């Protein structure tokens, strides 16, 4: 009776998380249409991003239920292949491909680590962790310092996740880390940091990118409620007009939302990220899997705060896929219980 009640409670919590996700994604799509109508904008990019996240999440839930180990492993290999095929740092930073490469490699590393935690045989688990380490090494070979740092961070967080007693506390820490990176980006755009620190960060981010952020915040201040309209940043940015290879993006997802869709757009972007973390907190998968996926998605959020990663559908779909894989309930008994939970065996049946 107790197990039945627990299963019902878990199912109810997952239904709430799914309902919240549908509401948030629908609100993102609706707000992009509203702001586009107000300023003759182009909402197609935002609508495609929402569709990619939803499709990736649904696919992850299905594949994660059917193939809890093979699906994330295949996703890691596919993401690695896409990252290698994506133009690398030799292409101008203005094109944003380096952010997409870093995000894809980070998601691939997270998927490999999730597959490792889902695997039962120690040899398979070791092989999958070596795959994750190999992805980090590939990032270094591709010359993507950001990807190497984020992949290494995800791998270390995954290994340390087994020591976390409460996943909600760990996910809260990840949310705080994402907020810190976003706040720092905003402060740089506002010139609110001390001069020495600003100069140091500008040297790493490039002056061109900081100027793009200045333009984004200038538009946001002038149009706090509705922004200038989706897709219109490039038309109104003086920095973009002077660029040799303009792509019409400010290379920061939060600042692009602020400029094109106002403060409500920023709030909806933050709500989408918080929903993913909330879904992971309610996930029936083990705590290490939830925290590993959360760390990878937080790293992607950090990359998107200082780059153009979310403008690539492969990244948004991959993020949704990883979230779906980490929140799916496997139909088979192939995934071990949380490493901290003692297990009693009665015959061939596993009981908590």
The predicted-structure confidence for 146-162, as pLDDT tens digits, reads as follows 999 999 999 999 999 98
| 4 within a domain of the structure (yes/no) | no
Q: How many domains does the chain have?
A: 1
| 346 within a domain of the structure (yes/no) | no
pLDDT at 171 over 80: yes
| 345 within a domain of the structure (yes/no) | no
Dihedral sign from CA coordinates of 281, 286, 291, 292: negative
Average pLDDT over residues 191-198: 77
Average pLDDT over residues 254-264: 96
Average pLDDT over residues 19-36: 96
The predicted-structure confidence for 86-125, as pLDDT tens digits, reads as follows 764 444 343 345 789 999 999 999 999 999 999 999 999 9
| 337 within a domain of the structure (yes/no) | no
pLDDT at 348 over 60: no
| 340 within a domain of the structure (yes/no) | no
Nearest residue to 99 (alpha-carbon basis) of 146, 154, 40, 168 = 146
Q: Rounded to an integer, what distance in angstroms lies between the CA atom of residue 285 and that of residue 213?
A: 39
Backbone angles phi, psi at 344, to 5 degrees: -105, 145
| Model pLDDT, residue 203 | 74
The predicted-structure confidence for 287-314, as pLDDT tens digits, reads as follows 999 999 999 999 999 999 999 899 999 9
pTM for the full predicted model: 0.89
pLDDT at 17 over 80: yes
| 306 within a domain of the structure (yes/no) | yes
| Model pLDDT, residue 93 | 41
Range of the domain at 251: 10-331
| 147 within a domain of the structure (yes/no) | yes
Of 86-95, 101-110, 127-136, 249-258, the one with minimum mean pLDDT is 86-95
| Model pLDDT, residue 14 | 67
Q: Calculate the average pLDDT of the chain.
A: 87
pLDDT at 74 over 50: yes
pLDDT at 350 over 70: no
| 1 within a domain of the structure (yes/no) | no
**In the 3-class helix/strand/coil scheme, how is the chain assigned residue by residue?**
CHHHHHHHHHHHHHHHHHHHHHHHHHHHHHHHHHHHHHHCCCCHHHHHHHHHHHHHHHHHHHHHHHCCCHHHHHHHHHHHHHHHHCCCCCCCHHHCHHHHHHHHHHHHHHHHHHHHHHCCCHHHHHHHHHHHHHHHHHHHHCCCHHHHHHHHHHHHHHHHHHHCCCHHHHHHHHHHHHHHHHHHHHHHHCCCCCHHHHHHHHHHHCHHHHHHHHHHHHHHHHCCCCCCCCCCHHHHCHHHHCCCCCCCCCCCHHHHHHHHHHHHHHHHHHHHHHHHHHHHHCCCCCHHHHHHHHHHHHHHHHHHHCCCHHHCHHHHHHHHHHHHHHHCCCCCCCCCCCCCCCCEEECCEEEC
């Amino acid at each position: 009776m107790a197990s039945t009640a627990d299963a019902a409670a878990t199912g109810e919590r997952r239904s709430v998380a799914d309902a919240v996700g549908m509401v948030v994604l629908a609100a993102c799509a609706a707000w992009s249409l509203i702001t586009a109508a107000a300023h003759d904008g182009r909402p197609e990019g935002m609508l495609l991003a929402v569709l990619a996240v939803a499709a990736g999440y649904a696919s992850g839930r299905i594949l994660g239920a059917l193939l809890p180990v093979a699906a994330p492993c295949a996703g890691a290999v596919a993401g690695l292949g896409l990252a290698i095929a994506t133009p690398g740092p030799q292409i101008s930073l203005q094109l944003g491909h380096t952010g997409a490469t870093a995000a894809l490699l980070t998601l691939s590393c997270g998927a490999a680590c999730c597959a490792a935690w889902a695997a039962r045989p120690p040899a398979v688990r070791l092989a999958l962790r070596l795959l994750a380490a190999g992805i980090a090494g590939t990032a270094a070979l591709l010359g993507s310092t950001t990807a190497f740092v984020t992949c290494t961070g995800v791998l270390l967080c995954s290994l340390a996740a087994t020591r976390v007693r409460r996943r909600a506390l760990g996910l809260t820490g990840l949310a705080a880390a994402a907020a810190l990176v976003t706040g720092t980006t905003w402060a740089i755009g506002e010139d609110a940091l001390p001069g020495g620190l600003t100069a140091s960060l500008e040297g790493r981010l490039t002056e061109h990118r900081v100027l793009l952020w200045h333009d984004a915040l200038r538009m946001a201040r002038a149009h706090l409620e509705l922004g200038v309209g989706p897709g219109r940043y490039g038309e109104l940015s003086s920095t973009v007009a002077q660029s040799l290879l303009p792509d019409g993006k400010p290379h920061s997802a939060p600042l692009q939302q602020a400029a094109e869709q106002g403060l409500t757009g920023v709030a909806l972007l933050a709500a989408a990220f918080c929903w993913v973390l909330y879904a992971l907190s309610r996930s029936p998968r083990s705590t290490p899997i939830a925290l590993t996926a959360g760390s990878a998605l937080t790293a992607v959020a950090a990359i998107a705060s200082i780059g153009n990663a979310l403008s690539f559908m492969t990244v948004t779909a991959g993020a949704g896929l990883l979230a779906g894989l980490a929140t799916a309930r496997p139909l088979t008994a192939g995934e071990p219980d949380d490493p901290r939970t003692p297990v009693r065996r009665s015959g061939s049946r596993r009981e908590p």
